């Protein structure tokens, strides 16, 4: 006999879990179905484990440069088994906490594959079967790494980001195919650990979603920590018959690598049976939704990577709030996606929100750019973190801030403050006091520079 729920969420990643929690807080009966581990890709093979490794890598680099600020460190070497143990313990701790949160909110958690038979009928398979009846459905099935047809994953030599987070040993050499967010972050991890890292990016620069100045700065700083970058070129083949493997680039260049990490993006994970059963309309490989996050089937919503919007955990949770509100009787719509901050946890970090300088040029917006530099900031100098700058984009027609891009130490932490500046003009900006000495004063410098002529 089927169990009855008001809302069933499929997928327990950041978006799905947030949606289930929000629905439960509204007082409705909620179930969440997860095929593997609670927390989804983000907790288990993405955001959290990668940040744990990046934290170890940053500490290691800081120790190596400690003499520059008067601290003598006799030895700074990575203990890879302990680094991995710490990462795994962090993931396990959050899994436990999420499970406890689900129980505290009376959310039923089912483990297995979810097949939607109809807008109100779901079957969960995991050895046995469970049938669920529901009034509303929220699809949050996430995404998976894109595999290259000519360089397929084997889990040993040619790996995805999932394997890269749990390698048994630090490789001596690694070629990373793809210089986007994931490839660049993992390059920083392994370069810090002593791996000879080369990134090969098909487009003209690393982090191509950001302004060109960001890419130039990042490539320069990557070189300092041992990361080589080859841009505007594709890898044509990988010969695994010998060890290390031979990586061939289309310009004829050949590289050797113990590991080849393919990081060319992610694509939505959709259940074909569900798509066919509901006759859901697609937007390419993603599920098509409207501004209320509702699919083409009434009462069925979709959020996160499966709708192909941001491919960000916090993008998914933003969508989760909207979908959960609408699934429980509300009427909310997604706001401007460019106001969801974009963050990259490289060395140095990159964070941006709103419109960039290049976006304004492409859209024909008359804009002024103000700049602030970390090398002129008291706390940045004190911490020996002088690399980086901030750009503020001002709309000359409205005299308001359109966007902010930050490259530098803890950029990902104060981009939230930058988000609050979007849409403000001189009067509102003039009422903000920045404490001294803080890195946020670099943001103040950029603001004042952007409005110096107004």
Active site positions, annotated: 436
CA distance 32 to 17: 8
In this structure, the strands spanning 349-354 and 400-408 are antiparallel
Q: Please, are residues 402 and 336 in contact by the beta-carbon 8 Å criterion?
A: no
Contacts of 84 (CB under 8 A, 6+ apart): 166
Q: Identify the residue whose tokens are 């909620």.
A: 30
* 3-class SS of residue 98: helix
Q: From the CA atom positions of the chain, what is the Rg in Å?
A: 23
CA distance 57 to 78: 8
Distance from CA of residue 363 to its chain's centroid?
A: 26
Structure token digits, residue 311:
């491919």
Closest CA to 262 of 152, 166, 188: 152
In this structure, the strands spanning 196-201 and 227-231 are parallel
* 3-class SS of residue 256: strand
Q: How many Cα atoms within 13 Å fall on the side-chain side of residue 164?
A: 33
Q: Can you name the residues that pair with 9 across neighbouring β-strands? A: 32, 138
Closest CA to 266 of 229, 316, 228, 219: 316
Q: Please, are residues 56 and 31 in contact by the beta-carbon 8 Å criterion?
A: no
Q: Please, are residues 372 and 343 in contact by the beta-carbon 8 Å criterion?
A: no
């Amino acid at each position: 006999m089927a169990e009855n729920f008001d809302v069933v969420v499929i997928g327990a990643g950041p978006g799905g879990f947030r949606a289930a929690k929000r629905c439960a807080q509204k007082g409705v009966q909620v179930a969440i179905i997860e095929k593997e581990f609670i927390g989804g890709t983000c907790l288990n093979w993405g955001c959290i484990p990668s940040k744990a490794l990046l934290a170890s890598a940053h500490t290691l680099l800081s120790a190596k440069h400690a003499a520059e600020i008067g601290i003598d460190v006799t030895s700074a070497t990575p203990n890879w088994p302990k680094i991995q143990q710490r990462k795994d313990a962090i993931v396990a701790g959050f899994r436990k906490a999420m499970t406890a949160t689900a129980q505290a909110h009376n959310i039923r958690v089912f483990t297995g594959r979810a097949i939607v038979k109809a807008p109100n009928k779901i079957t969960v398979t995991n050895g046995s079967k469970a049938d669920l009846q529901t009034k509303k459905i929220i699809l949050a099935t996430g995404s998976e790494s894109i595999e290259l047809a000519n360089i397929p994953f084997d889990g040993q030599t040619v790996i995805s980001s999932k394997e890269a987070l749990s390698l048994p040993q630090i490789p001596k050499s690694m070629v990373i195919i793809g210089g986007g967010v994931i490839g660049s972050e993992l390059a920083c991890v392994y370069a810090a650990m002593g791996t000879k890292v080369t990134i090969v990016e098909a487009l003209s620069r690393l982090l191509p979603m950001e302004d060109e100045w960001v890419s130039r700065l990042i490539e320069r700083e990557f070189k300092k920590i041992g990361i080589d970058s080859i841009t505007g070129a594709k890898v044509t083949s990988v010969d695994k018959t010998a060890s290390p493997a031979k990586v061939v680039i289309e310009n004829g260049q050949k590289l050797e690598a113990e590991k080849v990490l393919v990081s060319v993006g992610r694509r939505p994970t959709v259940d074909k049976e569900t798509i066919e059963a509901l006759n859901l309309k697609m937007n390419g490989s993603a599920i098509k939704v409207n501004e209320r996050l509702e699919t083409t089937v009434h009462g069925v919503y979709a959020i996160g990577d499966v709708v192909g919007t941001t491919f960000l955990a916090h993008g998914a949770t933003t969508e989760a709030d909207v979908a959960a509100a609408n699934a429980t009787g509300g009427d909310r719509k997604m706001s401007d996606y460019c106001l969801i901050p974009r963050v990259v946890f490289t060395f140095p970090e990159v964070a941006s929100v709103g419109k960039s300088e290049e976006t304004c040029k492409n859209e024909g917006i008359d804009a002024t750019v103000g700049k602030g530099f970390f090398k002129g900031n008291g706390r940045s100098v004190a911490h020996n973190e002088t690399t980086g700058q901030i750009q503020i984009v001002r709309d000359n027609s409205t005299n308001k801030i359109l966007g902010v891009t930050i490259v530098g130490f803890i950029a990902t932490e104060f981009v939230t403050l930058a988000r609050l500046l979007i849409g403000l003009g001189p009067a509102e900006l003039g009422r903000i006091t920045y404490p001294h000495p803080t890195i946020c004063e670099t943001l103040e410098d950029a603001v004042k520079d952007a409005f110096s002529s107004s």
